[in-house]
Amino acid sequence: RMNQLGFYPNAPKVAIVVTKDSADAGFTIVSASNNKVVYNGKLSALQHSSNSSLQTRTADFSKFKTPGKYFVAVKGVENSYPFTISKNVNYVAAVASLKGYYYQRVSMPLYEKYAGKWARPAGHPDTAVLIHASAATTERPEGTVISCPGGWYDAGDYNKYIVNSGITMGTLLSAYEDFSGYFDTLKTNIPEEGNGVPDILNEVIYNLRWMLTMQDPNDGGVYNKCTNAAFDGMVMPGVTKLPRYVLQKGTAATLDFAAVTAQAARIFKKFSAQLPGLADSCEKAALAAWQWALKNPNVRYDQNAINKQFSPKITTGGYGDGRFVDEGCWAAAELFATTKDGQYLYELRKYINDPMTLPNWGNVSGLGIYTLLRNSKALDLSSSETEMLKRKVLSFANAYVEAIPSNAFKTVMGKSKADFNWGSNSNAANQGIALINAYLLSKDKKYLDAALTNLDYILGRNATGYCFLTGVGTKSTMNPHHRPSVADGIVEPVPGLLAGGPNPGRQDGCKYEFLEPETCYLDESCSYASNEIAINWNAPMVYLSNAIEALQDK
Ligand code: 9MR
C-alpha cells in the first residue's frame, strides 16, 4: 500500500506491507525499466492496526532519492505497482482534483475540448425555480418563479446546497489566498482559461454566481438549497425535468454565505479590471446576509419539521446543522478581514477562545481561525491574540504528528476510529490542511511531512489499497456513486473526483466485503455512504495536493 503516484526525491518514502509474517525480512526497490535492484532495506517489526485486524510492516526508503520509475519487491508478497520518484509527482492529482469541479458544472454544456470523452449537454437550467411553501414571504409568495442557474452539483446527486457550498468555497478561496503565486499560473483547460483570472478562481466564480442568486434581495436571508423534491434517478444531468425549488432560509446557510461572499470580495478586489463590480456585489451581499443572521440567529433547517408543515415533501439532502456558533465565528472572521470593521472583531472575541476542531460542513470555525492568522498583520491583531491563535493551530497539529509512529499505515489519518465516517477522506484532507497551516506558521518541516502522509493515504497508502481520486493511480475508484459516471456508458468514471472513503456506518445498506472502520469501503455505485463523491470532499483535496506541490523542496 503506497501513494500510487510515487514520491518526491527529498521527502519521506514509505510503503506498507500487509502481512502476518514477522520473520526478519528485507525489501528491495527495483528499477521498472531493467529489473535491477537499486536499493536494499529492512522491513520494520510487525505492527497491529488499531482501526482493524490488519497487521503491517513498513518499508521506509526515504534515503533513496534518484528520480525514475520503480517498484517495491518483498519475498512472498506480490510486487507493488510501479511508482515514480520525481519532483512533480503529485501534480497530476493536484490538477485533476481542481478540474473535477468543471465536470460538476450544472447549467452549461461540457464540450469535448475541455471534457474529452466526458463531454455532455447542459444539466438543469434552473432558470425557473419555485419558491417552496417553507420559503414563502409577502414579497415572494409560494410558487413565485426565480432564476438560480449555474453552480456545481453537490455530489453524486443533482442538487445544490448552500451550506455545503460554504465550506467548499471557503476552502478553495483559502487555497488561493495561501498559495496565490502558485495558482496564478496553474491552468486546468476550462473555457475561461486565459481571461486574466487564475483558473482556480474562474472555477470558483461559476459557483459564486449561483450562490449570489440564492439570497433573497428583500431581506438578505439565504435559501438553504435549490433542489428537486426527491433525488433524480441514475440518469445524465438535464434528463429529468421535474420542478426545482428553493427551500427555507436558514442561519447556517446565511452565515456560510456571508463568509464566502466576504472572502470573495477581498480576493476579487484585485481583479476588478477583469471582473468589474464582482467584489462590490459580494461585499454588499455579505453585509446584508450578516444583518439577516443577526435578526434570525437561530433558524435551523429541519427537513422533518418542514415536511410536517408544508408540501410538496422534500427528501433530498438536509445539511441540517443546528449549531451556529462556528458559522458565526467564520463569517465574522471573513467580514473582519475584508472590511476591518471592529464590530466583527467584537463578535469574534466571543468565540476566539474555543478549542480548535477539524472543519467539516457542519463545523467551520477553523476556517475563521485560518483566515485570522493568514491576515493577522493586515488586521492589526494584538500580538497576544495572534500568539494564542497560533498556539491553538500548532497544538492541534502536534497531536496529529505525534500519532503517526503508532499508526500501522504511518499516516495521520486513522489516529482514532472517529476519523472513519461519511466522507472520511475529507477528514484526511482537512487534517492535511491543519498541518499545512501549522507549517506555514512555523516553517517546521515535520508538519509538511505529516501532511504528506495523508496525501499518501488518499492516493493509496491505506487499508483498502485504493487510490480514492478517480482517474489517478493504478488501482483507483472505478464505480463512484455519481450519476454521470453511472449513466454515461463510459467505463472510466468522470476524473478528478474524490470518493467518500471508509465508513463503517454503511447507511446505504449495500453488501460490504470488509466491515472494520478503516476497511469499510465498497467500490460500487450503490454505496453512497462510502463511494459517493462531493464538492466538500474535493475541496480539501485540492488544497492539500496543491499545497504539497507548491511547498515541496524541488
Ligand atoms: O456529507 C453528508 C454527511 O455528513 C451526512 O451524514 C449525510 C446524511 O445526511 O449526507 C451527506 O451529504 C450528502 C447530501 O446530503 C446530499 N448530497 C450528497 C452528500 C454526500 O453524500
CB 328 within 8 A of CB 252: no
- Ligand 1 center to residue 159 CA distance, Å? 11
Sign of CA dihedral 73, 79, 80, 82: positive
**pLDDT classification of 124: cutoffs 50, 70, 90:** very high
- Probe ligand 1: pick from 482, 525, 528, 532, max atoms within 8 Å of CB? 532
The CA dihedral of 159, 162, 164, 170, to the nearest 10 degrees, is 140
**pLDDT classification of 545: cutoffs 50, 70, 90:** very high
Residue owning the nearest CA to atom 4 of ligand 1: 422
Q: What is the mean pLDDT of the chain?
A: 97
Residue owning the nearest CA to atom 3 of ligand 1: 422
Q: For the sheet with 129-131, list strands across it.
A: 145-146, 129-131, 245-246, 225-227, 160-161
The residues lining ligand 1, judged by C-beta closer than 6 Å to any ligand atom, are 154-155, 157, 317-319, 422-423, 528, 532, 534
Q: Percentage of the chain surpassing pLDDT 90? A: 95
Nearest to 417 by CA among 358, 534, 502: 502
For the segment 267-276, the average pLDDT, to the nearest whole number, is: 97
DSSP 430-443: HHHHHHHHHHHHH-
**pLDDT classification of 348: cutoffs 50, 70, 90:** confident
ipTM, two decimals: 0.99
Residues 500-516 pLDDT 10s = 999 999 999 999 999 99
For the segment 10-17, the average pLDDT, to the nearest whole number, is: 98
| C-alpha to C-alpha distance for 306 and 145, rounded to whole angstroms | 20
Atom of ligand 1 nearest to the CA of 481: 21
| C-alpha to C-alpha distance for 364 and 358, rounded to whole angstroms | 8
Q: Percentage of the chain surpassing pLDDT 70? A: 100
Q: Which of 124, 132, 481, 482 is catalytic?
A: 481
Say yes or no to pLDDT of 369 above 90: yes
List Cβ neighbours of 137 (8 Å cut-off, separation of 6 or more): 216, 218, 219
List Cβ neighbours of 360 (8 Å cut-off, separation of 6 or more): 167, 423, 426, 427, 430, 536
Q: For the sheet with 26-31, list strands across it.
A: 6-7, 83-85, 68-73, 26-31, 37-42
pLDDT given at position 351: 80
Residue owning the nearest CA to atom 18 of ligand 1: 155
pLDDT given at position 379: 86
pLDDT given at position 153: 98
| C-alpha to C-alpha distance for 486 and 532, rounded to whole angstroms | 11
Residue 8 grid coordinates: 518526491
DSSP 457-495: HHTT-STT--B-BTT-SSSB--S-B-HHHHHS--SSPPS
For the segment 241-245, the average pLDDT, to the nearest whole number, is: 97
The CA dihedral of 209, 175, 458, 42, to the nearest 10 degrees, is 170
Say yes or no to pLDDT of 363 above 90: yes
- Ligand 1 center to residue 394 CA distance, Å? 30
Q: Is 256 a catalytic residue?
A: no
Burial-class residue 129 by CB neighbours within 10 Å (0-12, 13-18, 19+). buried
Sign of CA dihedral 35, 38, 44, 50: negative
| C-alpha to C-alpha distance for 151 and 211, rounded to whole angstroms | 7
Say yes or no to pLDDT of 380 above 90: no
**How does strand 6-7 pair with strand 83-85?**
parallel
Query: Bridge partners of 31?
Result: 70
pLDDT given at position 377: 86
The C-alpha angle with vertex 271 and arms to 268 and 272, in degrees rounded to 5, equals: 95
Query: Bridge partners of 14?
Result: 60
Residues 448-496 pLDDT 10s = 999 999 999 999 999 999 999 999 999 999 999 999 999 999 999 999 9
Nearest to 111 by CA among 321, 377, 541, 102: 102
Cα atoms found within 13 Å of the Cα of residue 261, Cβ hemisphere only: 28
| C-alpha to C-alpha distance for 236 and 248, rounded to whole angstroms | 28
How far, rounded to the nearest angstrom, does the alpha carbon of residue 104 sit from its chain's CA centroid? 14
Given the C-alpha cell 471592529, which residue does it identify? 342
pLDDT given at position 115: 98
- Ligand 1 center to residue 332 CA distance, Å? 26
Q: For the chain, what's the residue count? A: 554
What angle do the packed helices 162-178 and 251-268 form, to 10 degrees? Answer: 30
In one-letter notation, the amino acid at residue 537 is: W
Q: Which of 154, 256, 326, 532 is catalytic?
A: 532
For the segment 39-56, the average pLDDT, to the nearest whole number, is: 97
Cα atoms found within 13 Å of the Cα of residue 412, Cβ hemisphere only: 32
In one-letter notation, the amino acid at residue 484 is: P
| C-alpha to C-alpha distance for 462 and 516, rounded to whole angstroms | 13
Say yes or no to pLDDT of 352 above 90: no
Sign of CA dihedral 374, 380, 383, 388: negative
Say yes or no to pLDDT of 554 above 80: no
**pLDDT classification of 413: cutoffs 50, 70, 90:** very high
pLDDT given at position 172: 99
| C-alpha to C-alpha distance for 3 and 224, rounded to whole angstroms | 38
CA max distance for the chain = 77
The CA dihedral of 473, 477, 483, 484, to the nearest 10 degrees, is 20
Q: Which helix (H) or strand (E) holds 149?
A: none
Query: Which domains, ranges and CATH numbers included, belong to the chain?
Result: 6-88 (2.60.40.10), 91-381 (1.50.10.10)
Residues 172-192 pLDDT 10s = 999 999 999 999 999 999 999
CB 318 within 8 A of CB 248: no
pLDDT given at position 194: 94
Q: Is 532 a catalytic residue?
A: yes
